[in-house]
Amino acid sequence: MDTGRQCTAQKASDSFAEQVKAATWNAHGDAEQHGFIRALLAGRLPREGYAAMVAQHYFAYVALEEVGRGLADDPVAGAVIHPGLLRVPALERDLTVLYGPDWPDRIVPSPPTRTYVARIRQMADDPGGYVAHHYTRYLGDLSGGQFIRTIAARAYGLDGSGGVDFYVFDQLKSLPKFKEEYRSRLDRLPLNESARRRIIREAHLAYQLNVEVLDDLGRTHRAGLAA
């Protein structure tokens, strides 16, 4: 699948959104090519593994969205926050389908998820850093997440019955247009060069934290990961 890995070079003329993408595209490859994700995309991951990933997402998005509420009026973080992105209600529906109504008693954050959540919470007083975490997750959900949705729905027989709502953004009319608008918001952030470089560094960390969550999921749900 061509995911645009060719765009690694960074030109001085690139917009900030292009710079973030180019600077993190190798890290993106590590996430996209992770054994756990590859098993998921190949339809080889058992349903429990998929459910466990949704559970770990839940803890990260509760933190992302709580911190986001506190930063909604900030000129930097507020520029990317959008109600149509909020994922916690969809995650709660998916967890009900995947684990049953007692899902809150059946899921716990893994150690890497706890680290990821702690880092997201530190962004409460770092709006630029928050943008990095926001970008890494939501733009990913609007992109590769859409492949995951199709495959998970088919593999686990979930479409129409819930379980993949996390990937459904029905308040956003056109995902390509929304992503375009999101990127132009990144370009217009009222930030100097060093603040922009900081966002890129934090986005790298966000990818790394995501990979550590996937590593842990891979260790716990080995079935289907070989090959």
Give the residues lining the site for ligand HEM (CB under 6 A): 1, 3-4, 20-21, 28, 31-32, 37, 41, 135-136, 139-140, 143-144, 147, 179, 210
Q: φ and ψ at 104, to 5 degrees?
A: -60, -25
d(C-alpha 112, C-alpha 5), whole Å: 27
Q: φ and ψ at 139, to 5 degrees?
A: -65, -30
CB of 104 to ligand HEM, least distance (A): 24
Handedness of CA 137, 197, 181, 13 (dihedral sign): negative
Distances (CA, A) of 108 to 6, 11, 54, 140: 38, 43, 11, 24
User: Between 44 and 147, whose beta carbon lies closer to ligand HEM?
Assistant: 147
CB of 199 to ligand HEM, least distance (A): 12
CB of 93 to ligand HEM, least distance (A): 21
User: Between 21 and 86, whose beta carbon lies closer to ligand HEM?
Assistant: 21
User: Between 125 and 181, whose beta carbon lies closer to ligand HEM?
Assistant: 181
Residues 95 and 58 sit within 8 Å (Cβ to Cβ): yes
User: Between 107 and 175, whose beta carbon lies closer to ligand HEM?
Assistant: 175
d(C-alpha 144, C-alpha 155), whole Å: 17
CB of 169 to ligand HEM, least distance (A): 14
**Amino acid (1-letter code) at residue 142:** L
CB of 105 to ligand HEM, least distance (A): 27
User: Between 37 and 80, whose beta carbon lies closer to ligand HEM?
Assistant: 37
Residues 183 and 15 sit within 8 Å (Cβ to Cβ): yes
d(C-alpha 210, C-alpha 112), whole Å: 8
CB of 102 to ligand HEM, least distance (A): 28
User: Between 2 and 170, whose beta carbon lies closer to ligand HEM?
Assistant: 2
CB neighbours (10 Å) of residue 73?
8
d(C-alpha 143, C-alpha 3), whole Å: 10
> Which residue is closest to ligand HEM by CB?
144
